[in-house]
Amino acid sequence: MKCSGHLQKMRNTLSNPVDYHLLLDDHAEHLNPYIGKKISIDYAGAIHCTACGRKTNKSYSQGHCYPCFQKLPQCDMCIMKPETCHYDAGTCRDSNWGDDHCMQPHYVYLANSSGIKVGITRGTQIPTRWIDQGASQALPIFKVSHRKLSGLIEVALKDHVSDRTDWRKMLKGSPEAVDLIERRNELLALASKELDTLREQFGEQAMEVLTDAEIVSITFPVEQYPEKIKSLNLEKTPHVEGVLQGIKGQYLILDCGVINLRKYTGYDVTFSLNE
């Protein structure tokens, strides 16, 4: 088996374990059957922007050329820091894109990947977002009216809980299970003043506490976790070959190291099964 094309973020489906497909242009290759087998990835040396298609020497914001990185709304700083959203100021790079992606219901959640973290996502990205972060557990705690408000709630909560995933720790195994409902209740109490201020500013109807939400458990197709983490880099090593031991988040776990495929969005590669 051999297929070529430009890498995209792996497609995942919540099942037991998570089901993964490698996306190369229009081709989708089911990866779970290859676990335990030797595979290779060869980088052809070309990167093409996922937005405009032009060839670029460097990828910006996961698969964009520099001009697109400078002008597209999905590459703006407020995507990384949603509390800085400037849609209301009339300065969104593309208000139509903002309508479709930012001015839509968002969720604030707790996830257990390398430990407990708070995060945000659009409703359409549940549970994809949790899987991409390698979370073994997740719990939505707020449903809010738009992206900026979700970011402001995240800021209020991250004074008491991390908003980051330690990817190295995440790839070393499954974290100990945690009672996320109990942790949610603790955080709501700790951040009560900040949350009340946001309710006064945006209105009670804009932020709903999801008191009836249940914890989502996620298992990943991993036969063996690495004892030591060695990150593989297609720029430095354009030919990567090894036994696929598992998949977690957007990482392939090989017997020779781990590779974050999302980092190489837009890279022209060939994926092979080496029997």
pLDDT digits (tens, 9 = 90+) for 219-229: 999 999 999 99
Task: Check if the beta carbon of residue 111 is closer than 8 Å to that of residue 90.
Answer: no
Tell me: pLDDT of 274 over 90.
no
To which residue do tokens 């992206």 refer?
Answer: 147
Cβ(25)–Cβ(19) under 8 Å? no
- For 17-36, letters b (16+ CB in 10 Å) and e give bbbbebbbeeeebebeebbe
Examine the pLDDT at 275 and tell me if it is beyond 80: no
Q: Classify residue 271 as exposed, middle or buried by CB count within 10 Å of its CB (0-12, 13-18, 19+).
A: buried
Could you write out the three-class secondary structure of 69-114?
HHHCHHHCHHHHCHHHCCHHHCCCCCHHHHHHHCCCCEEEEEEECC
**In this predicted structure, what is the pLDDT of residue 187?**
97
**Contact predicate 4/26, CB 8 Å:** no
Report the alpha-carbon distance of residue 76 to residue 125 in Å, rounded.
19
pLDDT tier at 108 (50, 70, 90 boundaries)?
A: very high
Q: Which residue from 258, 233, 113 is spatially nearest to 174, judged by alpha carbons?
A: 113
Note the pLDDT of residue 133. 97
Mean pLDDT of 243-263: 97
The letter for the amino acid at 163 is D
- Laid out side by side, the sheet with 19-24 consists of 11-13, 19-24, 27-30
57-92 pLDDT, tens per residue?
999 999 999 999 999 999 999 999 999 999 999 999
pTM summary value: 0.95
Residue 239 CA to residue 203 CA, distance in Å, equals: 54
| Mean confidence (pLDDT) of the chain | 96
